[in-house]
Amino acid sequence: MKKLILLFLVSVISLSAYAQTENLKKHIDQEAEKIEQQVIEWRRHFHENPELSNREFETAKYITAYLEELGLEIETEVAHTGVVAILKGGKPGPVVGLRADMDALPVKERTDVPFKSTITSEYRGEEVPVMHACGHDTHMAILMGTAKVLTDIKDDLAGTVKFIFQPAEEGAPQGEEGGAELMVKEGVLENPDVDAIFGLHISDALPTGMISYRPEGIMASVNSYSIEVEGKQAHGSAPWTGVDPIVTSAQIINNIQTIVSRNMELTNQAAVVTVGIIRGGVRNNIIPESVYMEGTIRALDEDMRQLIFKRLKTIVQNTAESNGAEATLTINEGYPITYNDPELTAQMESTLKEVAGPGKAVNMNAITGAEDFSFFQEEVPGLYFFLGGLPEGGTPAGHHTPDFYVDESGMKLGVRAMSNLVIDYMYSAGE
């Protein structure tokens, strides 16, 4: 009899919690509809006023001013320019982290929009144009909208929300620390301790109104590297009197391409090794003394990542030696694999499907882009997903390009998704 009574009480409590979450979700939908135009205006402000990594000073002030209006507990200058706000719900429960990145890129905008960026700034000692060419402007606006929606229902929240506006996702300037890694070092996931964290990225290739995700690795690890090749300068008419670092560099580049094609088990996961910068020589009839190169390494498997490091070292050293040159390889610290916790992904999958609608939330293949959201995921369970921004009939220009463009009507789904993930996680944790 006691067992039956207990089961009855559990059922009643579960039904009550379900009814409450359904009411909250209806409220979220209504508020997301009301605030959509404001979210678009925020996005346009950020787009028109972009700032580079670790230099998001005005962006941080703008975000802080609004979060103060909401009455949230705010900490500024986190990891240089980051902003963290805490919303305490009216009921006890877990702490949920929501993250948006803040920085723009040294790209000159070509899109024909009234809020087009004409901003310039300094990058690597040069004056450069600046553009939100990856959608971080939409991420900030979505998280501000989510903060408004959740603040309106704070008395019904069964836990705490930590809104994390993160600088320098694209990488800190040379000689500086920054981004998610520095935020973690400074304790952003502590006081209160975050139990789970969610993040999104708008996609100019995914149709508006859709969400894509996957468990485990969704984005690759990334490391930059540099190679300095030292030869012996000579007259271009007498190459035998010197050691040619340009020819040596060309052979190194060709040999590097065999790492993925001949050493990686590509039926397992993808990997990429790219040379993106090469500099050497000042005159057509002088064989220079040195050549400098930079590139990027990406992998979706940690063992493959380590094998790339090993093969790169071998190829650079032995190729240079075979030409009588010397070469120095430097592999820089990078981002880990963006790894969606399988249990958390399975738990929240129904939420993503519910907010997107039938057939609109789909499982995706992993991509070789990288995200420093991975540093948060190394510390606590995290789920990262993509939000559609491709207008109907549109053609993707590509992220990090002058023509990058997203459909602003997709941002309302971002607000609904982030808000619903908080509600469902909190109430499922309390069951």
The predicted-structure confidence for 144-163, as pLDDT tens digits, reads as follows 999 999 999 999 999 999 99
Catalytic residue among 31, 169, 181, 408: 408
Distance (Å, rounded) from C-alpha 122 to C-alpha 119?
11
CB neighbours of 343 closer than 8 A, spacing ≥ 6?
381
Q: Give the amino acid at 66.
A: Y
The pLDDT of residue 13 is 44
Catalytic residue among 62, 335, 384, 405: 335
Q: How many CB atoms lie within 10 A of CB 33?
A: 12
pLDDT at 258 over 50: yes
Half-sphere exposure of 358 (CA within 13 A, CB side): 0
Distance (Å, rounded) from C-alpha 74 to C-alpha 68?
7
**Alpha carbon separation from 413 to 42, 146, 321, 402 (Å, rounded):** 16, 11, 56, 25
Beta-bridged to residue 342, according to DSSP, are none
pLDDT digits (tens, 9 = 90+) for 329-374: 999 999 999 999 999 999 999 999 999 999 999 999 999 999 999 9
Instruction: Return the percentage of the chain with pLDDT > 70, whole number.
Output: 95
C-alpha torsion angle, residues 323, 328, 334, 337 (rounded to 10)? 40
pLDDT at 11 over 90: no
The pLDDT-based confidence of 2 (bands split at 50, 70, 90) is low
384 catalytic, yes or no? Answer: no
For tokens 């908080």, name the residue.
422
339 catalytic, yes or no? Answer: no
The pLDDT-based confidence of 8 (bands split at 50, 70, 90) is very low
Distance (Å, rounded) from C-alpha 282 to C-alpha 382?
49
- Specify the pTM: 0.92
Mean pLDDT, residues 32-59 taken together: 98
Domains contained in the chain, CATH given: 2-218+337-429 (3.40.630.10), 221-331 (3.30.70.360)
The pLDDT-based confidence of 3 (bands split at 50, 70, 90) is low
DSSP letters, 14-53, are HHHHHHHHHHHHHHHHHHHHHHHHHHHHHHHHHHHS---T
